[in-house]
Amino acid sequence: MATDGIVLLAKKIGLTSFTSLTDVKKALGTTKVGHTGTLDSFAQGLLVVCTGRLTKLSSYITDFDKEYSAVIKFGEETDTLEYTGNVVKTDPLPTQEQLVQSLEHFTGTYDQIPPVFSSIHVDGKRASELVRKGKEAQVPSRKVTVHKALLKEVQKTDDGKILYALIDFSVSKGTYIRSLARDIAQHCGSAAHLVGLYRTRVGTFNIEDAAGYDDVKDFTIQKAVQNMEEQLASMKENSLTYQKYSFDEERKKLQAQILTTIKPFDEKTSQLCGFTNLFLVSDQAKMDYYNGKPLRSALFGINLHDLPCNTLCAVFTKEKIFTGLFEKTDQGRLHHLFVIC
């Protein structure tokens, strides 16, 4: 059984990204798996998973733009900026006109402050760990880009104010949708937190192609609120944890889908990852490459100096077998990243 590949996996609500990999490990019979970007346990949607020897790729395919659908509840902000947190602020509900204007305001590049409940490191420790210990965590702002913010559905109160909104976002790497919801609400003179988050795209990878897609595709305000209520009830019962693994029919079906949808790392998959494909011209070139010798144009039959800076190159043998990755840095240097023999 081939275990080197890319698995598109639809993560369910209530599981950590790490725990969600259990079915990938079971299906492929390997412990060598790694996802390319986490989803919070309250969120659902697309995880791009590298398996086998391709786990070395994980850290190089995290710079993609991403798309999300988010259900935002207005009027209350929580400390975690999602529904499992404690309410720390209340404000009036916005009108639809205010919300639309705010979405237009945040379309583009702005300085975003990530949530304090996050994995971002402050003074060498995760911000969330510091906060849980009662310490302050000053998370620095970062520039992010919101390519799209499209209002899809609203639920209003009797006086016409917006209580819930379903919004589709397309954003750059490093954007926190929880923080974006907070900032949009503040611009409206309101407060907000997420009650549902659904990642639908990572780069050119789409949720529709993921194993388990049928279990997560139903995402509306009504469904998100229902899921939230179920998860909060589970938390009260102290059962919001991944149960001991059992090979039931649902997991059997998911693992079968993983086996049939795993993508080999071929030229097409490489291009989906945003890499430039290069081919070694001979067996001697392959040996030189395997042995880590300096990268030269003669190995590939092209002028490497013509490659743009900040380019990641996927290297294939004459037989079109993936064998490694190198980069041309922003200074124009050629640098080996890893080799798979």
What are the catalytic residues? 40
Give me the helix-helix angle, 177-187 and 96-105, nearest 10°. Answer: 120
User: What is the distance between the alpha carbons of residues 29 and 19, in angstroms, rounded to a whole number?
Assistant: 16
* Helical spans, DSSP H, in 123-248: 127-132, 177-187, 221-236
Contact indicator for 142, 112 with CB cutoff of 8 Å: yes
Residue for token digits 């790392």?
265
- The contacts of residue 257 (CB under 8 Å, 6+ apart) are 211, 212
Q: CA dihedral in degrees (35, 230, 224, 97; nearest 10)?
A: -130
Query: At 122, which amino acid appears?
Result: V
What count of other Cβ atoms lies within 10 Å of the Cβ of residue 322? 22
Stated length of the chain: 341
Can you tell me whether residue 291 is helix, strand or coil?
coil
Can you tell me whether residue 195 is helix, strand or coil?
strand
Going through 53-202 in order, the beta strands assigned E by DSSP cover 66-74, 76-78, 87-90, 108-112, 121-122, 125-126, 142-156, 162-171, 192-202
